[in-house]
Structure 1
Amino acid sequence: MSGGGEPELPALNASGLRVAIVASTWHAQICDALLAGARKVTAESGVEDPTVVRVLGAIEIPVVAQQLATNHDAVIALGVVIRGETPHFEYVCDAVTQGLTRVALDASTPVANGVLTTNTEEQALARAGLPASAEDKGAQAAGAALTAALTLRDLRARS
């Protein structure tokens, strides 16, 4: 998969954090599994009732994340873009990645990029957190968002 080196996610106490998840619905089996992984990590970390918003495709994720970042401590972005026969893949992947990064920096709010960008559907399935998957990128994105939000909360408390 990613070549190893994945950090072990520590037990987190994220109770009190306002967390949002925006997930696309294109490639439903994969996106639903990513969402389940993210929900599991948020629940295990004490986040009660995260805001969940579904959008059709990955290209819609950044603008919805931008709105969610205005009143949440962290946003988890989930979706999948699978390479096809045209340059559309590169345009969408670039726009989503740049958009999510811009939202995080402009809002000073962690936005975890759990949007899979793969060459094949099989690669996406292997990362979706399904029973036969090797990885759960939805859970990993949630862990990254929560860890960053807790770090920012601590840094802001010192100011």
Structure 2
Amino acid sequence: MSGKGAPQLSVKNCQDLRVAVIAAQWHEKVMDGLVDGALRALHELGIDEPTLLRVPGSWELPVAARVLAGRGYHAVVALGVVIRGGTPHFDYVCQGVTQGLTQVSVDTGVPVGFGVLTCDTEEQALDRAGLEGSAEDKGHEAVTAAVSTAVLLRSVTHPGQ
């Protein structure tokens, strides 16, 4: 299981953070689980008014993340799923989305939680979606990682301050 060895993150003092969740619309059942996990994590952290936007597909996640990162959000969480088919389309989409989200985070300094499932089968995606019976909850994990990083970055002061 890919979640083996994951850190146990304890996030505190984050209730005032502005957090946006961007979710693709493809694969509705999987996406419902990812979004539910993300919103549950935010609620557990005391962030009760996140922004939730739905984009057509995973390909659109980086541009939406870039716009939100530039509008004062402390963290952005990208949720999507790409399931391998019989063409190279899977590879292009996965690579483009991953590179795009990485670029947004590095260029803006805003943590981007990576909750994009890249799976060979729908069963693998369902097992990571945080649904009843799923082995993992990647929506929850993506929020926790992004918010934890935002809190860490906020705690870093400039030299001389």
Partner of 2:134: 133
The runs of at least 4 aligned residues of structure 1 exceeding 4 Å deviation read: none
Work out the percentage of aligned pairs sharing the same amino acid: 53
Shift of the alpha carbon at 1:108?
0.6
Q: Give the distance between the partners of 1:69 and 1:80, measured in 2 at CA.
A: 21
For structure 2, the residue ranges without an aligned partner over 5 or more in a row are: none
Letter paired with 2:21: I
Within a 5 Å distance, the mapping from 1:94-113 to structure 2 comes to 94-113=95-114
Partner of 2:88: 87
2:156 alignment partner, SS class: helix
1:102 alignment partner, SS class: helix
Letter paired with 2:22: V
The answer to whether the Cα contact below 8 Å between 1:129 and 1:138 also exists between their aligned partners in 2 is yes
The answer to whether the Cα contact below 8 Å between 1:25 and 1:32 also exists between their aligned partners in 2 is no
Q: Give the distance between the partners of 2:140 and 2:113, measured in 1 at CA.
A: 11
Within a 5 Å distance, the mapping from 1:9-88 to structure 2 comes to 9-70=9-70, 71-88=72-89
The answer to whether the Cα contact below 8 Å between 2:3 and 2:136 also exists between their aligned partners in 1 is no
Shift of the alpha carbon at 1:10?
1.7
Q: Give the distance between the partners of 2:21 and 2:45, measured in 1 at CA.
A: 15
Deviations 1:39-68 (A, max 9, x none): 111111111210110011000000000001
Calculate the aligned-residue CA RMSD, in Å. 1.3
Shift of the alpha carbon at 1:9?
2.6
Letter paired with 2:41: V
Shift of the alpha carbon at 1:157?
6.7
Shift of the alpha carbon at 1:11?
4.6
Shift of the alpha carbon at 1:32?
1.2
Inter-CA distance 156–47: structure 2 relative to 1 (3 Å threshold):
farther
1:76 alignment partner, SS class: strand
Deviations 1:78-113 (A, max 9, x none): 010000000000000000000000000111100011
The answer to whether the Cα contact below 8 Å between 2:11 and 2:148 also exists between their aligned partners in 1 is no
The answer to whether the Cα contact below 8 Å between 1:127 and 1:134 also exists between their aligned partners in 2 is yes
